[in-house]
Amino acid sequence: MRRLPLLCHSRSGGRNMSTWNDLSNELSQAIQAIGKSIVTVQAGGARTASGIVIDEKTVVTTARAVADEEKIRLWISPDQPFSGSLVGIDSGTDIAVLKAEARLAPSAAFAETPRLAVGQLVLAVGRTWRGNLVASSGILSGVMGEWHTLRGKKIDAFIRPDLMLYSGFSGGALIGSDQKIIGMNTTALRRGSPLVIPYSSIKAIAAILIEKGYIPKPYLGLGLQPVRVPESLKKNLNLTQNVGALVVHVEPGSPADKSGLLLGDILLRIEEHNFGEQGTASIVFRLAPGQNASVLGMRGGKQFSSTVSVGERPRRQA
């Protein structure tokens, strides 16, 4: 898509109208092209959302749209319904992967490394509960680096569009001026504000869901409770941190136990994350199974350091 032209006054009203028509037609053509890779998603009898085709039988959508439903309907147009099944779901990033029973339309074209800036024109594309293509336009109102959701999951970039996401738009695509998909629209990660999950995050999470069917969760085998660091210790150890995490339980044989952490230890930091600045659960969820995480804490009035080999939390049996 070429750059958005400026519509300015001139003596030639016909020329301005021609420019306007050209732009309008170009936007419409871009929406129609991307729309071939956008499907309607309905789990059970719930309200519909949208989904993006990532290969001939695979769709990515929002976790909120499908939850743990096994019966899923998809359609690419009002007269093309078909069945699908849930491959895997990650509520922490609001990403779910579905498998379609029938071959889908062409795979979506994603922007691998988009050059985003506040003020750029963007289009949101989705499908209604009838399968009709719908769109909304606006600009990027916020672009920043990686961030973490309320559940501690990392999203590679903060992308906030200033546009209206109508009912059913979640799970649909946000496209830029190159007519490629920047990411997936969602309203579940931040209350009252639509956000976009970038393709890099979708690609990484979807690959794990396709391989395992779930996202492995970190496991330390610790019970932690926030506790204020005594002023005397802060002074003696030259600390500025006011809050730590008191170890109230160590699971026998767990990664924490094997690393030598003890009941009564006060942990100050895991990796670069200080306790007190964030919740204990949020810090633990930022770790990854198999990671060797450095730990800084206090024991017996002295500082100590350790390394914990993060395990994978056992899954609940159905």
> What single string gives the DSSP state of each residue in 181-241?
EEEEEESSSSTTS-EEEEHHHHHHHHHHHHHHSSPPPEE--EEEEEEEPPHHHHHHTT---
Give 293-316 pLDDT, tens digit per residue: 999 999 998 999 999 999 998 876
Give 125-146 pLDDT, tens digit per residue: 999 988 899 999 999 999 999 9
Residue 303: strand, helix, or coil: strand
- The residue type found at 70 is E
Give CA–CA dist 48/81, Å, rounded.
13
pLDDT tier, 318 (very low <50, low <70, confident <90, very high otherwise): very low
Q: Distance between terminal CA atoms of the chain?
A: 49
pLDDT tier, 8 (very low <50, low <70, confident <90, very high otherwise): very low
pLDDT tier, 202 (very low <50, low <70, confident <90, very high otherwise): very high
Ranking 186-200, 221-235, 241-255, 266-280 by mean pLDDT, the lowest is 266-280
pTM score, whole prediction: 0.80
Give 20-57 pLDDT, tens digit per residue: 888 889 999 999 999 999 999 999 777 899 999 999 89
Give 157-198 pLDDT, tens digit per residue: 999 999 998 888 999 999 999 999 999 999 999 887 899 999
Token look-up 């009035």 returns 301
Looking at residue 168, what is its pLDDT? 87
Above 80 in pLDDT, residue 206?
A: yes
Which among 278, 47, 93, 98 has a CA at the least distance from the CA of 188?
A: 93
Give CA–CA dist 158/154, Å, rounded.
10
Which among 48, 75, 76, 73 has a CA at the least distance from the CA of 62?
A: 48
Give 251-266 pLDDT, tens digit per residue: 999 999 999 999 999 9
Looking at residue 6, what is its pLDDT? 44
Domains in the chain, CATH or no CATH each: 218-312 (2.30.42.10)
